[in-house]
Amino acid sequence: MSLLGLILLNLRCHAIRTTIGAVGISFGVATMLCVVTLLGGAIRMFERILSSDSELIVFERNVSDLFFSNVPVETVAEFEDLPFVQNAEAVLFGIVSSENNPVITCFGVGPEAARLRDAEWLQGASDRFTNDSERVLLGERAAAFLKVGAGERVPIGRAEFEVAGVIRTANGFEDGGVFMPLPLAQRFFRKEGVASVVMVKLREENQRRQFKDYVQTNHENLTALENEEFSQNYSQFRILKITAWVVGGCAFLLGGLSVANTMIMAVFGRIRELAILRVCGFSRWQIAGLIVGESIVVALLGAVVGILLSRLALGLLKSLPFLQGYVEVHLEPSMIGVVVFLAVLTGMLGALYPAIYGMRIRAANALRFE
């Protein structure tokens, strides 16, 4: 039997204590993974909306939210005239409401938009969605909660539009959204002549710098960012990511306190046992190693259970009809790595005080009153 064997044996002998400690950590891990995965999934979904068949996003400089961005539509033609641009596409984002749904995302797009080209048409036909039409397209989920189909009329805000078709996309935001022809969206949101963003696809990937320099030189109110840069710099994404990690971190902290509490109780309840180990030749560091080792194993056990719990919880959330398309069950290996690392760290920190206490136990005193 080795020190690790003794650690596992002690944990098995005190199964309830081990379970309580591991459950504390597992809830922390599960909460962190769920929150980070859900928000990460939402961010990725939004990123996919922006990066649909494009490499660069042009938007108004220094806006806190893309809904407030105004990019002149003439820039689309201007960018497409550049030799290194393959195509440019204007998109106007807006929030619309219907009777029972106060928030529906609206996309003002051209009929040739990549996101429509890649979608599956469930009802209607693409030729009814034209720039000069007054018809709208609905995502599959939007059609379901608005309870309308192709050819019917749907109230949006104070107006009513004919539904040209219903499409299915892989993106929860788009699937729950309304697509308007860009000119109609501009009129509806009173944003004539502007779009929220212009998405640009280049002929060669290595011409990104060239395009960014062009925008910087010729449009002082606009900025062009690569998709990855945008994800890293967009304040809304940053806020979401930080929120996810802070909320997850707090959950983890609570789990860590549970481990610390469990280990403190474990040491206080085993003073005599630790004294026996001392008189059997255990050094103070071996005693500390035993306590820290037990704590780390409990934390790892909690991490494994927490990962399984989070998969289960995300799977359940994904199956809920109103969340379909919004939840991604895929857990990033890097995130699992971070969680396992945090679990080990939590285990070590949680065992710090108990280990120091355990090292200081005086065997003679502990055994004197046997």
Partner 1 sequence: MSYENGKIPVLHEVDLEVQRGSLVAICGPSGCGKSTLLHLIAGLDQPTRGQVLHDGQSLHRDRDLTLLLRSRIGLVFQLHNLIADLTLTENCLIPAIAAGLPKGEARLRLARLTTATGLQHRLGNRIQDLSGGERQRTALCRALMNDPQLILADEPTGALDEDSREQVFALLVDLVRSAGRTLIMATHDRSLADRCDRVVEMKDGRILS
Closest to partner 1 by CB, 14 vs 141, is 14
Residue 339 contacts residue 33 (beta carbons within 8 Å): yes
**Tokens read off for 356:** 């120091």
CB of 174 within 8 A of CB of 209? Answer: no
| 369 exposure class (CB count in 10 Å sphere: 0-12, 13-18, 19+) | exposed
Strands 159-168 and 153-156, by their bridges, are: antiparallel
Q: Which is nearer to partner 1, 13 or 103 (CB)?
A: 13
- Residue 369 structure tokens: 């009153």
Minimum CB distance to partner 1 smaller for 86 or for 286: 286
| Min separation Cβ 285 and partner 1, Å | 9
| Residue 5 or 321 with smaller CB distance to partner 1 | 5
**d(C-alpha 193, C-alpha 204), whole Å:** 29
Binding site for partner 1 (CB under 8 A): 1-3, 5-6, 9-10, 13-14, 272-273, 276-284, 286, 362-364, 367-368, 370
Q: How far is the CB of 351 from partner 1 (least distance, A)?
A: 19
CB of 360 to partner 1, least distance (A): 11
- Interatomic CA distance for residues 236 and 53, integer angstroms: 22
The closest alpha carbon to 176, from 216, 140, 222, belongs to 140
Q: How far apart are CA 199 and CA 90, in angstroms?
A: 6
Query: How far apart are the C-alpha atoms of 122 and 127, rounded to whole Å?
Result: 14
Minimum CB–partner distance for residue 341 and partner 1 (Å): 28
Beta carbon nearer to partner 1, 137 or 263: 263
Shortest CB 20 distance to partner 1, Å = 17
> Closer to partner 1 at the Cβ: 158 or 360?
360
Q: How far is the CB of 279 from partner 1 (least distance, A)?
A: 5
Q: How far is the CB of 278 from partner 1 (least distance, A)?
A: 7
Least Å distance, CB 362 to partner 1, is 8
- CA atoms of 359 and 267, how far apart (whole Å): 10
Task: Decide whether 300 or 367 has the Cβ nearer to partner 1.
Answer: 367
Going along the chain, which residue ranges are E strands?
A: 56-60, 71-72, 85-96, 104-109, 120-124, 135-139, 153-156, 159-168, 178-181, 194-195, 197-202, 222-226
The answer to whether residues 11 and 18 touch, using CB atoms and an 8 Å cutoff, is yes
Please say which residue, 239 or 364, places its beta carbon nearer to partner 1.
Answer: 364
Q: Which two tokens stand for residue 61?
A: 């400089």
